[in-house]
Chains A and B, each alone.
Chain A
């Protein structure tokens, strides 16, 4: 230990004086020469003279030469009193100095052990069972390997096996900058209204981008609430596109009239940021970091009609079913909960589903089948799971090999689009229910956090941590020729399904 310290000073001093030399020229000052001499005399390292000159940078570069690894390792291995497999030091001539060092290391370590680790050597025995556990079978590949080995360039292009008849462009049709888009998995910062206006929250500001005209409006800014205040979620009302719900980092949920650009309401109910929002007609559900979900009836003064508490960590995904009967919620406690529309503050969820092994953020209700819900899990889970929400049973589970950040169904076909994080940050289109990979869309350079589908159902916008929005033409409706062949009756057009949902709401 002590000699290490000396060495270290030596190096520092040498480095320092070298740096000076370079400034002042070749001639060393007397004190420098003295110091060098005395150092090389004192040092017990025989090679100190022919040590390479240190680089003259201002950074500290750790030098392993200054450490006596052998000595340290001996000290560590032997302090335990157990017969060290390293054996005695072979060089025999361990000087008193070295012995002393080892002893002091040993006593330091045992002091550390008793005081910090709480182990007293004299009272503890470390035991292991003689019959060891069976070794894993040889070909065990760590299932996490997929996360790391998924190279960003490798691609198994399965789309050649013609799963779809339409052409899906591999490149985005448009890219928009989204500076300061927060890289936070738990937020929901993107929403596309049925009047074709895209709302996106960039840190403290909500912007509205009109997809027809390309016009950009700034809706609101929360700078006045303090430097750490930010928008944590946005969600358009289902019909009409007149109102936008905005969740904030300080627990308030705001309701904005977009046409007049005025704030209509400010609703409380949460004690921490509101990361997830979902509309069911006049009911706005909000999920927060305070683990609760609040149902607000936006028409009445006493807006808080139910507080749903079942999650034990931050709620990050919320989605009402298209028929308005079920609310699905996902949270960082890895749970997926299904709530009846009639749930009150004392209700328990209809189902608590614990199959996911990581946070559940991505939620998507099938527009084709009633009670079919798709959910995606975080890094430790990486699965897309499908549920029958009536029975609470899991229908299918697919490991995607990467964090699932968002899911979006194709309104025209039984296909689902997923967006992913590390390592490839891709979007992936799957055929349901076979879950054959139709297409992978690369382009984003950081994880793809949010997705939204256009009102005509043909394009999808993705927002990623690389601070861009990309538009993809993935869901184009079946062409006329094709639809003629199939007959009009089985054309599940978005327009039709929208009409359907309208009639359902009247009912």
Chain B
């Protein structure tokens, strides 16, 4: 393993977390069809083929958010990142991908869920929530282990198309960052409302942890009215 055995530092942890956010956001944008699939390129990351955008405007937006995110992460001010998917015409929030950031201390438990299930049929929303309290690990982890956990989350995001309702209208997205009140906020950032979804369903996804940050992920989505099916 060599270099991978090195223990993760705070700075390294921040890099891992923000790289994960970048990849996760890109996966969401691709898998949920928010941007045209042709504008994404394939890239190898975490032992997976992930798709990242090539759209310059989008890249610079993500770059801006991510660099600010990194400085907040270093200060320990980030509580969560939310990717809000909104219908352009209706203005309604349709999906909310939520990534909670917890600053680590001591024991960690990882919850498991198998979302990657080909047997889930498309038109029936089924959720499989099973097994939790998997591993109890204390102290340092190497990058490889963290990448394996991240891989599982990215895979779940990919697999989520099997249970999430189809986004029928053109959608846009926005990133909300929940910070501590004490965080230093640059001019370009505005307060926002949480953009909750009415009648929502939520599915918890896996989590990962570096020794400094624990990131829990989940997705909430607008429940499809049964009579519309």
Contact = CB atoms under 8 A, between A and B. Distances in A.
A124 B194 CA distance: 11
A136 interface: yes
Contacts of A183: 119
A312 B117 CA distance: 14
A129 B175 contact: yes
Given A134-B61, A332-B118, A127 B48 contact: no
B186 to A, nearest CB: 9
A358 B159 contact: yes
Given A76-B196, A126-B191, A129-B61, A136 B122 contact: no
A252 B170 CA distance: 50
A135 B34 CA distance: 9
Interface string A42-56: 000000000000000
Nearest to A355: B49
B191 A127 contact: yes
Contact of A359 (B116, B122, B177): B116
B116 A422 contact: no
Given A136-B35, A142-B166, A354-B44, A186 B118 contact: yes
B39 to A, nearest CB: 9
A119 to B, nearest CB: 7
B37 A143 contact: yes
A312 B170 CA distance: 35
Given A125-B180, A126-B176, A118 B61 contact: no
Interface string B95-121: 000001000000000000000111101
A355 B42 contact: yes
Interface in B110-153: 116-119, 121-123, 148
A403 interface: yes
Interface string A352-366: 101101110100000
A249 to B, nearest CB: 15
Interface of B: 31-37, 42, 44, 47-49, 55, 57-58, 61-62, 64-65, 68, 79, 88, 100, 116-119, 121-123, 148, 155, 158-159, 161-162, 166-168, 170-181, 183, 185, 188-194, 196
Chain A interface size, under 10 / 10 to 19 / 20 to 34 / 35 or more: 35 or more
Interface in A167-189: 183-186
A130 B189 contact: yes
A378 B117 CA distance: 9
A124 B185 CA distance: 13
Contacts of B36: 136-137, 140
A395 to B, nearest CB: 15
23 contacts: A76-B196, A125-B191, A126-B177, A126-B191, A128-B176, A129-B68, A131-B64, A133-B173, A136-B34, A136-B171, A142-B32, A142-B166, A144-B161, A144-B167, A147-B166, A185-B118, A186-B119, A355-B49, A359-B116, A379-B118, A380-B31, A380-B159, A423-B122
User: What is the predominant secondary structure among interface residues of chain A facing chain B?
Assistant: loop
Which of B121, B148, B177 has the most C-beta atoms of chain A within 10 angstroms of its own C-beta? B121
Contacts of B172: 132-133, 135-136
Contact of A422 (B123, B155, B189): B123
Contacts of B167: 142, 144
B196 A422 contact: no
Contacts of A128: 174-177, 189-190, 192
Contacts of A333: 116, 155
A432 interface: no
A402 to B, nearest CB: 10
Contacts of A80: 193-194
A148 interface: yes
A132 B58 CA distance: 9
Nearest to B84: A128
A404 B84 CA distance: 31
Contacts of A165: none
Contacts of A226: none
B108 to A, nearest CB: 16
